[in-house]
Amino acid sequence: MEILLLVLIVVVLLPNLFVAGMHDVANSIAIPTRTRALTPRIATRLAAGANALGVLMTIPLGVHLFSWFDFPRMDPQMVLGVLLTSLISLLGWNLWTYFRGVPTSTTHALLAALIGGALASMILDGTDSSAVLGLPWAAPLATLLLSPLVAFGLAYLLVFLAVRVARGADPDAVNETSRTVQAVCAGLTSLGTGLQQGQRFAFILLLALPAANIDHSGAWIPVAYVVFALLIGLGCLTGGWRIGHMLGHRLVTIDPLRGMVSTTTTSALLFVGSMAMSLPLSTSLTAASSVIGAGSNQRFATVNWPQAIRLFAYWAVTPLAVGAASGVLLLALSPLLEY
């Protein structure tokens, strides 16, 4: 039964990789294409290459974003069941939000799915509730709540600095410099996104392979990263234009200078949060909040606040919906599990 569950996990994991690339690519290229810093074709190729490179760079860096999460004394089949239902819930939510054109966080959706499955396991096999509830939730929850606020506030404040530096300069020169910086930041953001994507899905395998009694499970991870890079890169080549249209056109009207501020803020926070502090920072939440922060610091209304409120509502619903779906699916799957 463990091998069958492992096969199902891999089968569901593969489309998750493609959809993750398709879902997250707009976070790095929506503003650069909107301000004409990059053409759509160049932007998608840059993002695909940088995302794939970021995934491959994870091999020497190792997995640490989710290293704090573990299933305490849970039956191996239950572990595999939780992972399977988490991936199914994540895939369904990412597809739904993509076609709705809403940038939601894959990282936090996966985290919520794992939590929902772990809580459901308490009902099914008597997993120690104190062990589940005692996991160090504070850091990821704080990241979820604070990263959009930090991104918004930092982008808003940096506009003052950027305007002061650009004051008196030739507008065409300012726009050209801003577009160049945006192009660089698009690559950096995609690189950082790839680093996180590779780690989050490798973490699933690092839990699934030992639970299925696969010997030398760590030896499979480098091969898995190559597959991850290919599928995520292919997903990025789609451009994620439904979400990109939301970020670049429907959410805010932004000029090249403020576009530079938003992309710089996103790439900086992504690297500080995910690499220096080892936190599962959401690219989607950070990018959208940076866009809103930079775009709102103008003398005229540029933010479409009804769209922004709709976006905030999706962010609030994401952990509840995905966590509940994972838990319900595990309960439905429980008759097939031997524990």
Q: What is the SS3 assignment for the chain?
A: CHHHHHHHHHHHHHHHHHHHHHHHCHHHHHHHHHCCCCCHHHHHHHHHHHHHHHHHHHHHHCCCCCCCCCCCCCCHHHHHHHHHHHHHHHHHHHHHHHHCCCCCCHHHHHHHHHHHHHHHHHHHHCCCHHHHHCCCCHHHHHHHHHHHHHHHHHHHHHHHHHHHHHCCCCHHHHHHHHHHHHHHHHHHHHHHHHHHHHHHHHHHHHHHHHHCCCCCHHHHHHHHHHHHHHHHHHHHHCCCHHHHHHHHHHCECCCHHHHHHHHHHHHHHHHHHHHHCCCCCCHHHHHHHHHHHHHHCCCCCCECHHHHHHHHHHHHHHHHHHHHHHHHHHHHHHHHCCC
Is residue 157 in some structural domain? yes
Each residue of 3-14: pLDDT tens digit? 888 999 999 999
Per-residue pLDDT tens digits for 128-174: 666 666 665 666 667 777 889 999 999 999 999 999 998 888 889 99
Bridge partners of residue 252, in order along the sequence: 303
Q: Is residue 240 part of a domain?
A: yes
pLDDT of residue 130: 64
Judge whether 138 and 245 are in contact, CB under 8 Å: no
pTM of structure:
0.91
Q: What is the pLDDT of residues 100-117, one digit of tens each?
A: 999 998 888 998 898 888
pLDDT of residue 45: 96
**Is residue 246, in this structure, part of any structural domain at all?**
yes
Checking if the pLDDT of 51 tops 60, the result is yes
Tell whether 338 is covered by a domain. no
Task: Compute the average pLDDT of residues 300-306.
Answer: 81
Q: Please provide the distance, in angstroms rounded to a whole number, between the alpha carbons at the two ends of the chain.
A: 11
Q: How many domains does the structure of the chain reveal?
A: 1
The pLDDT tens digits of the residues spanning 147-157 come to 899 999 999 99
Which is more confidently placed, 217 or 93? 93
Place of tokens 């939590």: 115
Domain assignment present for residue 337? The answer is no
> Which pLDDT band, with edges at 50, 70 and 90, does 67 fall under?
low
Would you tell me how many other CB atoms lie within 10 Å of the CB of residue 31?
A: 34
pLDDT at 218 over 60: yes
* Residue carrying the six token digits 């030398």: 216
Q: What's the whole-number average pLDDT of the chain? A: 87
Q: How far apart are CA 225 and CA 247, in angstroms?
A: 29
Range of the domain at 303: 2-331
pLDDT reading at 63 higher than 70: no
At 38 the pLDDT is 93
Per-residue pLDDT at 71 exceeds 70: no
Return the amino acid letter for 177: T
Amino acid type, 210: P
d(CA 278, CA 166): 35
